[in-house]
Amino acid sequence: MPKKIVLILLLGIITLMLAGCGDDSGSLNPVVGPIGRLTAAIPPGAVLESATLNLYVWQPSSQTVNIHRITDYWDEMTVTWNSFGGAYSANVDATVFPVNMGWISADVTPLVQAWLDGTYTNHGFLLEQGITRPRSIFLSREHVDYPPYLEVCYNDGSGTVCEQIPAAADSYIWALNPDDNWGSSNTLRTGLQIDVDWEKQAMIRFDLPLAPPPDCGPCDGKITDLTLAYNGAAEAMIDVYSKGKHGQPGDLLYSGMVVPGGTFNFIGTDNKGTMGTEISIYVDGVLNTKIHTSCSQPIYIGMISGDFEIVDGYSRNGGRLCPDTGNNGGDECSECDGKITELTLEYTGMSEALIEVYSKGKHNNPGDLLYSGSVMPNGTFNFIGMDKKGTMGTEISIFVDGDLNTRIHTSCSQPIYIGMTSGDFVIVDGYSRNGGQLCSTPTGGNNGDDDDGDHHDDDDDDGDDDHHDSDDDHHDDGDHDSDHDGGCGDD
């Protein structure tokens, strides 16, 4: 055969081989053009028809990659193997088999439906293949050509609408380097590279924009109905009480076993069908959090308090609660007034530690234990006051691995604000009894109580007695109607 013909045949074979290497993905086609966000929020009442997770395989493995529901919040640029702590459901929601380079998809409709209807909080997907090799490598959202996306198809009554949602956050974690973060990598990795390697897992989160529920409004006239999601680590007995007299629990509004990610609903039982001014939530018999239900402080769908998130709710005069819009009842922020009732702190220490928070007791002894738990660097934790008015008293002491790290004045006699640093801790959120949510700038601290002597350090040192408690029905919610009902890199 002439050399010229042989050369032409070889060039033709090479061309065909190269064409077959570009996207060996069966019937799946790569995205044409940039992936766009939803053109509109998913409307109320729309019926979800399908939800498909789409990933681009960069390095095939022929291994089974399992997809799970993540059960707790994570941050793309700080998440590590240690901070994540295996926060995903053992249930496998879908699987993919990255046999070839190119696009691959998984049907995740049931899980996305559970996010949309509030059964679970949307913390994203976890990808894992266990301790199998070779590893699988997918492209992350940092890759401009083939980032992951979620295709959602729904029927809004006029027909089927399909939208492509780009990933809002993704990363992978590696047990070999348990405190390192790969949030800026352009790859997502699972499994082992070699036999002596350590496991990698990947996570992806997508925002699912929903239209606000119809006729929602700010809280008005106290809360009548709440649906909460439980974000704890294990199944637990949940008890919810309204506020009773003289610091005692009031009516039992809910009692039952709830699994992590599960939701439960309860209603008010007073003579107007409301929950009163405050509810207390216990987990396995231990107070976990309190939520103001008087409408004097912000309350909204999506609000997190302790191990719980509000997924739906109604107030007596305002109807259904809205998602956070900055107009959900109460002042946006105010200076501290009447002692601190709730704080969320960020731990800025160098390593994981046991954090314990105590109120101020008598004769320089520790008072109530407000918080105890292991916290990772940059992790946050929340705790509430436990005196009979729900405050922390005049001062809290914070211990790290048994050693006193810092004290924070909680009497409002000294400045306290969001962003304030004390020892190895930063205040990221907080509330005072009469002032509501703290602001992010220092304020004068002139609304406090005398905190310089133990002889004044009792529950009534804030200048008001129980007969004029600001949580009383006549002063707390504006409800003056008496009984008139209102309407590709290296590891």
At 20-33, the pLDDT tens digits run: 333 333 333 333 33
Residue 214: pLDDT band (50, 70, 90) is: low
Residue 9: pLDDT band (50, 70, 90) is: very low
**330 or 422, higher pLDDT:** 422
Write down the domain spans for the chain: 35-205, 223-330, 340-475
Residue type, 490: D
| CATH number for the domain running over 223-330 | 2.60.40
> Can you give the pLDDT at residue 298?
85
Only one residue has tokens 């609000």, namely 303
Token code pair at residue 114: 């559970």
User: Could you tell me which of 371, 432, 452 has the C-alpha nearest to residue 405?
Assistant: 371
Token code pair at residue 309: 């998130």
Only one residue has tokens 């990772």, namely 376
> Can you give the pLDDT at residue 210?
66
**Above 90 in pLDDT, residue 116?**
no
Virtual CA dihedral for 110, 116, 119, 121, nearest 10 degrees? Answer: 110
Virtual CA dihedral for 166, 169, 174, 177, nearest 10 degrees? Answer: 140
Residues 6+ apart with CB under 8 A from 22: 102
